[in-house]
Structure 1
Amino acid sequence: MVFAKGYGRFAAAVNSLLVTILLSLSGLSGLLSLSAWSGAHAQSAPAPVDAIKLAILGDSLTAGYGVKPDQAIPARLQAALRAQGRNVTVINHGVSGDTTAGGLERLDWMLGDKPDIVLVELGANDALRATDPATTERNLDTILTRLKAAGVRVWLAGMLAPRNYGPEYARQFDGLYKKLADKHGVPLYPFFLEGVAQDPALNQADGIHPNPKGVDVIVEHLLPFVTSNLDKNAASVRSPARP
């Protein structure tokens, strides 16, 4: 009788242990299933999209002569694009005083940043120095050719010559940008200083470089050109980065 009672207590203890083990195994199985489910869904989650890199190869207008770094055209353009929800990084490759020849010399250095798109903004200093338009055209032609050969999407910003050099110089210089855009099949923004040139309220004391208000006007005019071409070429500019 005592033995039977002892055996009953022993059996109850064993049963209780078995139940505990089964519950533990059941919980472990659930955790393993949850872990596997989480892992599978983590693997299927879309990878973050890298920002499109837009470099501006330019002179003092791009560099931001006379304004703070965050007031330069590349910085303000990037802010405007980000405000629209566009994941675009605008890289400032402007050098004050640079000519088309100078831009050509530092082309490889700029390409080291592996931009997806390059907006070429050069030629103003050529015109101020009365450089032969044929020389400016030749330098820009080489820049566009090399950029396209590197697999970069290219946009071109035009410039106008000072009118005191005479109508023939102005005709040759002003016309070279459209000629090159047509030759290379690249989008052309006709005049980089649109809405700002010769307006004292929008320029610094030298009458050439935009002040912060002028920068904002340039960006306001430039923005539709940039967004339109981003949308047209969305597939190509989001292609995998070149090695």
Structure 2
Amino acid sequence: MIYLRPWRAVPTERRLVCELILFFACLVIFSMTRATFAESLPPLKIVAFGTSLTARGGWQPALETGLSACLQRPVKVESVAKSGETSLWALTQVDRVVAAQPDIILIELYANDATLHRFVSLAQSRKNIGDILDQLQQRLPQARIIVMAMNPFSGLRGLIRPFVDSYVSAHQAEAEKRGLEFVDHRANWERLTADDLATAIPDGVHPQPDMASKIIAPELVKRIAGNNCGE
């Protein structure tokens, strides 16, 4: 006959050891199960839609890494962007964005509209972004759409965009009119000292990729994932 010793009769030290072993075993099993579940999830698809601030931005890998860590699932960011182009070009690229079937669309399309030599009026820019947003909402009703303002401009690149704030405001208004989100990254850039800002954006318009990753990606991670992610 096998005699089972009552659990309470086991010495306290031995009980503690057994309970700790059981706890850590459960923790390992939970972690493995969670990791396996995360790996089985399809990637979160994001399309970054914009100008050279996206095409040359360099912040996309940091967004993938940070967001994946927060959400515990794969994240893939694809760019539909071209340097020097305006919202008129973007109207011809909506099919490409839709074809990617993204879960989230990040949009910045005001920067070149605002340059004097491209002759895109404020009214035209506002109409274009409105048309783009309408098409995306109609064709991708489940997608989360976030319109963005990027970094401040300076030097000659700033001088040729004297009314850029008005273009930003117009795009923000069109987004908010449709119940869409708007993220303004400029305030985070402007927390840098003047010297640091000049170093971070040496040509007055295109941030260094490492600095763009530090400024833009965490803000987007927090906005998309919530729960204090990105801090």
Query: Is the TM-score greater than 0.5?
Result: yes
Encode CA deviations 1:154-184: one digit per residue, 9 max, x unaligned. 11113578764798x4563232133112211
What corresponds to 2:66 in structure 1? 80
Residues 114 and 128 of structure 1: CA distance in aligned 2, closer, same or farther (over 3 Å): same
Greater gyration radius: 1
1:178 has 2:172 as partner: yes
Task: Report the Cα offset of residue 86 of structure 1.
Answer: 3.7
Structure 1 residue ranges (4+ consecutive) displaced by more than 6 angstroms after TM superposition: 160-163
Residues 228 and 187 of structure 1: CA distance in aligned 2, closer, same or farther (over 3 Å): farther
Task: Report the Cα offset of residue 105 of structure 1.
Answer: 0.7
What corresponds to 2:122 in structure 1? 133
Secondary structure, aligned partner of 2:189? coil
Residues 59 and 107 of structure 1: CA distance in aligned 2, closer, same or farther (over 3 Å): same
1:215 has 2:216 as partner: no
What corresponds to 2:198 in structure 1? 200
Query: Taking every aligned residue pair, what percent have the same amino acid on both sides?
Result: 26
Answer whether contact 1:58 1:122 (CA < 8 A) is retained.
yes
* Separation in structure 1 between the aligned mates of residue 43 and residue 50 of structure 2, nearest angstrom: 21
2:78 to 91, 96, 99: 91
* Separation in structure 2 between the aligned mates of residue 194 and residue 136 of structure 1, nearest angstrom: 25
Residues 171 and 114 of structure 1: CA distance in aligned 2, closer, same or farther (over 3 Å): closer
1:155 has 2:146 as partner: yes
Task: Report the Cα offset of residue 90 of structure 1.
Answer: 1.3
Answer whether contact 2:46 2:103 (CA < 8 A) is retained.
yes
Answer whether contact 2:106 2:146 (CA < 8 A) is retained.
yes
* Separation in structure 2 between the aligned mates of residue 94 and residue 193 of structure 1, nearest angstrom: 23
How many aligned positions are there?
178
Task: Report the Cα offset of residue 54 of structure 1.
Answer: 1.0
TM-score, normalised relative to structure 2: 0.66
Secondary structure, aligned partner of 1:189? strand
Encode CA deviations 1:10-57: one digit per residue, 9 max, x unaligned. xxxxxxxxxxxxxxxxxxxxxxxxxxxxxxxxxxx9893211211111
What corresponds to 1:226 in structure 2? 224
